[in-house]
Structure 1
Amino acid sequence: MKKIVLTMFALTLIFSCKTNQENKERQQPDGERPTSSQLISEMDADKDGKLSMDEVKGPIANDFENIDSDSDNFISLEELDKAEKTRENRPPRQEESNADLSNEIETSAKVVPVNTNYFITENIIGEIQEKTVELNGIETLCYIIKTHSQATEHQMGPWCPRHISDGMEKAGIWFKDDKVYDVSGHFIANLDEFYSDDKWLLYREDGTIKVTETEEACLAAAKPEVDEDYHNYCVECLPEYFKDQVTTFVIPATPTYLKSVQNFGRGGIGIAFNGVNYDPPAPTHAILAAHTIAPLDDHGGHVNPHGGYHYHAVTGSTKEIVQNDTHAAIIGYAIDGFGIYTLLDKNGNKPNDLDECGGHFDDIRGYHYHAGEPGGNQIIKCLHGLPGYTEIKE
């Protein structure tokens, strides 16, 4: 089966780094890859339990004929499962291991070191440490930064309204097709129309909205296979549930630009100056498949058991370091050590020359990224630098 089919099922992976004494594989949190049933549920417009060519998109559409093994012009759950088993049983690809990236280094690229003075000191646990670690075969001086991933510049939340009469001030935001929507009570009441699916019903006869009110409910709902008892719920996990979690960021002190693009998995993709984790795109396939919604707050963040409070969008709520020219302000660092800047510059203009990861070069900042639109569910799209990693301990 073509490689493109196999890669469709493997959600992009994070390149781990290891010290010379630590070579064990780092386990990724659950939810990295949609299941076959989730893919069908998401794409099956006519709800007949299988996918036609008109319903699929992306890599599935590109290789429809190979997946459709019985040539009946439909893709069944069994056929998707068979393709998934083929992916699981194949030999590991080079990029799925700690591949040596020494030959990918672009030595002529200007780079700017990480400035640890930008971080909010009281949000860091202890001192920022320096340590030489081996990143994909390259000995690299890294900063070790530990935080509880709790915001201080702004209130965390709210997320879910409690009644269909509640206004947008009592809840957060959601996104679809690159647009941001206020999650008011009216929005919750009309999710069936919003998603053209009459199975959506997150409120009771008295107008109260079904919300995960406890840590136990959060744990049951905020996972890839949502407990059936919490289908059709507004999922809200509170920061205090996981306030003692420690997130460790290992970031190159001086980033290294690579010729090739490095993808990331469910681990953190960067850090804001308040110590909060920037996360990859929210796994909407798993959330929506159970007719649940997990709003972000107005600051672009929400909470899950695997990482505590974290951002999926940049909305201008966190510390910014304004530049001396008209360039956009820097708001944090990607896990490869390159700076992440706001999307708009001081004149309100967007950069027009961003690469596939959302980055570009200039003479002052060297290579750096610009955060995506809040409704895009992608702060940055990939990495162009030698990546560090994150670890989370409860």
Structure 2
Amino acid sequence: MKQTLSFLLVLVFLISCKSNQEKKEQQEPNGQRPSSAELISELDSNNDGKLSESEVNGPIANDFKNIDSNNDGFLTLDELNKAEKNQEGRPPRQSNENKDLSNQIDTSVKVMPVNTDYFISENIIDGIQQQMIELNGVETLCYVIKTNSQATEHKMGPWCPTHIEDGMEKAGIWFKDDKVYDVSGHFIAKLDEFYSDDKWQLYREDGTIRVTDTEEGCLAAAKPEVEEAYHNYCVECLPEYFKDQVTTFILPVKPVYLKTTQSFGRGGIGVAFNGVKYDPPAPTHAILAAHTIAPLDDHGGHVNPHGGYHYHAVTGSTKEIAQTNAHAPIIGYAIDGFGIYGLLDKNGNKPTNLDECGGHFDDERGYHYHAGEPGGNQIIKCLHGLPGYTEVQE
């Protein structure tokens, strides 16, 4: 490996925000370095399971040719893993969050402040606080919102059926090619046909399905590098395993529109009014590579060890605030403070003229986002505002 590769494989601090008092860098959530699989999950904009030069920048782009061992113009999970094994540390996540974005502010855009009355107050820990925080070089008045990320409007689950004869009432949902599928026992039994891969075998000879029914199994399977003992499992983590986790959301009181778009970090991309996180796309390529499936429940959520219950899809199960016209209801806020609205308006129509992030303008709401299709594994695609951040305390 060339000397520059060692630069790629050092720990990079996530400098999402610095408090006005402390001015200190924030590390990656839970002190964890991102894995190669997590890097692909974050940066793989076309969901083909590998990274092209156009999908990377910074140190990864600088050492692209060194890591691309077969010179095919793409970085695969195997190539990133080999780079990781040849050096101490891991490839750093790319982040816009350590940039000074003060010169990207566009003050001509109409923005609406965050309305804290929309949140379910019983789900908030110690009330919503305000604090001056430096976001990417911009001193910003922010809301500090702490929750246990537990839904209250709906029951969380179910996720995995336990027998191939179980029906849809015992199942969650899964997605492929923008379509949603019920994870019934029959669906589990036919995964080999669904993915055209005869290595899928999640059920035993007696028809029972291999499910991670303990916290230990959850911890082993619900991560990008699934432990081998839990390959060919239906991954189900229960909310009670992590009910004492505290998730902190930092959102600008009044969002700041930027001329450039910002990619997601590893934290939450927003928050529903019940205090549950909206997360970036699930790392499906890593999940499926281990012949595991990690269903969402019918509400678009599931559980992992580093964030508890969270949503990857919007299905209309959470609190909504109706609009005065036919416009879709607001369902939460992105981490930059801009509102996230439902996909369909009162007449069942989809929004038009959305930008690359899934947002657009109107006279009443200013700039705002619309949630994507439930089967798209992407609630919004990027951020157009000055990003806040999330932290999880276990």
**TM value normalised by structure 1:** 0.85
Tell me by how many angstroms 1:23 deviates.
Answer: 1.1
Cα contact 1:321–1:330 (8 A) shared by 2: yes
Tell me by how many angstroms 1:300 deviates.
Answer: 0.1
Tell me by how many angstroms 1:98 deviates.
Answer: 1.6
Q: 1 CA distance for matches of 2:76 and 2:303?
A: 34
Q: 2 CA distance for matches of 1:368 and 1:130?
A: 22
Tell me by how many angstroms 1:68 deviates.
Answer: 6.4
The residue identity in structure 1 corresponding to 2:318 is: T
Tell me by how many angstroms 1:167 deviates.
Answer: 0.4
Q: Secondary structure at the match of 2:19?
A: coil
Assess, with a 3 A threshold, how the Cα gap between structure 1 residues 222 and 76 changes in structure 2: closer, same or farther. Answer: closer
Q: 2 CA distance for matches of 1:88 and 1:356?
A: 36
Which has the higher mean CA deviation after the structures are superposed, 355-364 or 26-35? Answer: 26-35
Tell me by how many angstroms 1:24 deviates.
Answer: 2.5
Assess, with a 3 A threshold, how the Cα gap between structure 1 residues 275 and 107 changes in structure 2: closer, same or farther. Answer: same
1:154-173 matches, within 5 Å, as 154-173=154-173
Cα contact 2:262–2:383 (8 A) shared by 1: yes
Tell me by how many angstroms 1:94 deviates.
Answer: 9.6
Q: 2 CA distance for matches of 1:31 and 1:286?
A: 17
Percent identity between matched residues is 75
Q: 2 CA distance for matches of 1:65 and 1:92?
A: 16
Tell me by how many angstroms 1:22 deviates.
Answer: 4.0
Equivalence for 2:6: none
Q: 1 CA distance for matches of 2:174 and 2:337?
A: 29
The residue identity in structure 1 corresponding to 2:149 is: S
Equivalence for 1:145: 145
What are structure 1's unaligned runs of at least 5 residues?
Answer: 1-8, 40-54
Tell me by how many angstroms 1:228 deviates.
Answer: 1.1
What are structure 2's unaligned runs of at least 5 residues?
Answer: 1-8, 42-47, 56-60
Tell me by how many angstroms 1:80 deviates.
Answer: 5.6
Q: 1 CA distance for matches of 2:336 and 2:363?
A: 19
Say if 2:259 is the partner of 1:266.
no
Q: Root-mean-square deviation (CA), in Å? A: 3.4
Cα contact 1:15–1:387 (8 A) shared by 2: no
Q: 2 CA distance for matches of 1:89 and 1:186?
A: 42
Q: 1 CA distance for matches of 2:94 and 2:289?
A: 32
Q: 2 CA distance for matches of 1:74 and 1:364?
A: 44
Cα contact 2:14–2:28 (8 A) shared by 1: no
Which has the higher mean CA deviation after the structures are superposed, 183-192 or 68-77? Answer: 68-77
Q: Secondary structure at the match of 1:241?
A: helix
Q: Secondary structure at the match of 1:143?
A: strand
The residue identity in structure 1 corresponding to 2:374 is: P
Q: 2 CA distance for matches of 1:152 and 1:383?
A: 27
Equivalence for 1:24: 25
Q: Secondary structure at the match of 1:198?
A: coil
Tell me by how many angstroms 1:223 deviates.
Answer: 1.2
Q: 2 CA distance for matches of 1:213 and 1:79?
A: 33
Cα contact 2:287–2:294 (8 A) shared by 1: yes
**How many positions carry a matched residue from both structures?**
370
Assess, with a 3 A threshold, how the Cα gap between structure 1 residues 347 and 31 changes in structure 2: closer, same or farther. Answer: farther
Q: 1 CA distance for matches of 2:91 and 2:205?
A: 53
Assess, with a 3 A threshold, how the Cα gap between structure 1 residues 294 and 339 changes in structure 2: closer, same or farther. Answer: same
Tell me by how many angstroms 1:69 deviates.
Answer: 5.4
